[in-house]
Amino acid sequence: MRKGKKKLAWEVNKGLRPRKNPTHPRTLENHQKVLRDLKLFATDVDGVLTDAGMYYGESGEELKKFHTRDGMGMKLLQAEGVITAIITMENTKIVERRGIKLGIPEVFQGAKDKVSVLLNLSEKYGIPFGQMAYIGDDVNDVEALKAVGYAAAPADCVEEVRQVVHYVCKKNGGEGAVREVIDRILAAKGAQ
């Protein structure tokens, strides 16, 4: 510990991530406890809630494809009292509208430092990083994934992400990966 200073939540949680044998029963038991105690679920957008494609209409408008089951999963988490958040580097009206439609209380766009956003949420709600989950797919998500108690990624994530997460989904981004993780959380909480 730094002399005279309190350790930040993400510093304390760094050592929780057993990577050597993810199917070891002790590791699975730890994951179940973390999932059961989760209070906040955050997600990236492009490549996670969407298929990472950038679609443009004739007049230049940008389009994104979201998976409806991911949206239902967010609503199911909210019904269990889990705070939901979107943290993305992008800054579009599409993401703002999706957040509003799903009733997501915390939508952060233009986020270059996602750990700072998580720290802000930790302080705002009094939730330690160990009781947070984050799903991301690319190098700009790595530090946030390392910081939280449960880190996940879509099947088509980049290798750097694959090396730091607790769980790699069977589904790709924009194809139900977020719902896959949410279903694991809900199962651990006994909500399914």
Give the tens place of pLDDT for each residue, 76-92: 999 999 999 999 999 99
Q: Is residue 47 a part of any domain in this protein?
A: yes
- The percentage of residues in the chain with a pLDDT greater than 70, rounded to a whole number, is 84
Q: Which residue did the predictor score with more confidence, 182 or 31?
A: 182
| Range(s) of the domain holding residue 179 | 36-189
Tell me the C-alpha distance between 145 and 17, whole Å: 10
**Total structural domains within the chain:** 1
Give the tens place of pLDDT for each residue, 42-77: 999 999 999 988 888 898 888 899 999 999 999 999
pTM of the model: 0.84
Angle, CA 59 vertex, CA 56 and CA 65 arms, to 5°: 30
Q: Is residue 59 a part of any domain in this protein?
A: yes
Task: Please name which of 86, 94, 101 lies closest in space to residue 44, comparing C-alpha atoms.
Answer: 86
- CATH code for the domain of 154: 3.40.50.1000
